[in-house]
Amino acid sequence: MKRGREEADTEIVWQTPANPPERGDYIFRKGRRHVRPYYFEFISHVKKRWAGKTIVDLFAEEFKGRPYDYYVSAIKSGRIQVDGQSVSVSYIVQSSQKISHFVHRHEPPAMALDVSILHKEPDVLTVCKPASVPVHPCGQYRKNTVVGILQAEHGLSPLFPVHRLDRMVSGLLILARTAAKADVFRQQIEAGMVHKEYIAMVIGLFPEEEQVVNVNVNYNAREGRSSVEEGDRDGGTALKGKVACTKFTRISTNGTHSIVLCEPITGRTHQIRVHLQYTGHPIANDALYLSEIVADRSTQGKTAGGAAAVNSDHSPISNFSCNADSDEYEENSCEDLSIDPLCTNCPNLAPKGYDEQEEGLWLHCVKYSGPGWIYECPYPDWASLS
């Protein structure tokens, strides 16, 4: 659904999730894929703990990403409505009422890398997901997602992600093209019938013999990170973390860094990352799980391209990069972008607080296999220690 209204002599077209991403929505600038800012309707319903508050206090207390004065202006201009009607700033909200917030939305940029199609079947699509792009709409991201880009640039829709990869992780992503096929994959994963393989570049000389880490993982949503949790399971003290197991095998090393095959038996948040930290060999550019001392070591022996400038003791692997060179993209002019007078992000293209320098994590999904099927993704360039 689209709805139009006149504001400041400019026609504003409001979007909802029903409006699909289009190729022209993307702007490429300085190695980043941006989304052209657009007007969007956010809908929520009044929770019990919100009831009895004024509409302006509700937004100021619950949605602290914008200043109080913005919410006053948004309510007065009709950009914040209750049950489809404009209200005053002193309006008292009631439980279950529908609240609409019409915003000038600025999505965070991602690295300007292609979403490469690896394998296309009538009911399955596999792609190589670039780092920094989320799989599906979430949080601040809607169009700058794998699902959004595939729809905009290849006309592929609907798509049902079979598994998830963290935003900063690259590699194989399996998407079902029908809900029925997605359900088949889901049942196989839940039954433990699917084998997963990743590779990572870690700090130090990883042991030659296979390492199995079988310690609980406890995810702290407030901090956005996981920790391992050990204890005597028979000692009567309940462990808060979830059971987690990962098998690690060294592929190659130069003594300073190692390429490690990671086979997660379970699937916990940040499991591979925190289990590698537990072994004393964290991912070499994983700032979230590196100490300051280790972080300094992670930059040693690196070329500007991110690959270790040393010889490899591993047999040659593919140098194929699943990420297209950003030079393939034409730098778009942003001169035609309209500036919204109420927007707290304008005139910038990216939203405030975004780290323009973020790079992909050296963790890459290479293979998923199950009953009668196997899908693979080539190794990234950084996986060759040469």
Q: How far apart are CA 354 and CA 141, in angstroms?
A: 13
- Identity of the amino acid at 224: G
Burial class (CB in 10 A: 0-12, 13-18, 19+), 51: middle
Q: What is d(CA 257, CA 286) in angstroms, rounded to the nearest whole number?
A: 13
The label of the residue with tokens 């600025």 reads 106
- The neighbour count for residue 209, using CB atoms within 10 Å, is 8
> What whole-number distance in Å separates Cα of residue 144 and Cα of residue 129?
12
Mapped onto helix, strand or coil, the DSSP state of residue 277 is helix
3-class SS at 228? strand
First to last CA, the chain: 53
Q: What's the token pair of residue 187? A: 């049942």
Q: Where are the alpha helices (DSSP H) in 289-362?
A: 292-298
Active site residue 183: no
Query: Are 201 and 253 contacting, i.e. CB atoms less than 8 angstroms apart?
Result: no
* Residue whose pair of structure tokens reads 């049942």 in the numeric block: 187
User: How many other C-beta atoms are found inside a 10 Å radius of the C-beta of residue 359?
Assistant: 12
Distance (Å, rounded) from C-alpha 222 to C-alpha 291? 20
Query: How far, in Å, CA of 382 to CA of 374, rounded?
Result: 24
- Cα 75 from Cα 77, distance rounded (Å): 5
CA dihedral 188, 192, 195, 198 (to 10 degrees): 110
For residue 132, give the 3-state DSSP assignment. Answer: coil
C-alpha distances out from residue 91 to 62, 84, 87, 301, Å: 16, 14, 6, 61
- Active-site hit among 166, 234, 325, 340: 166
For the annotated catalytic residues, the residue numbers are 166
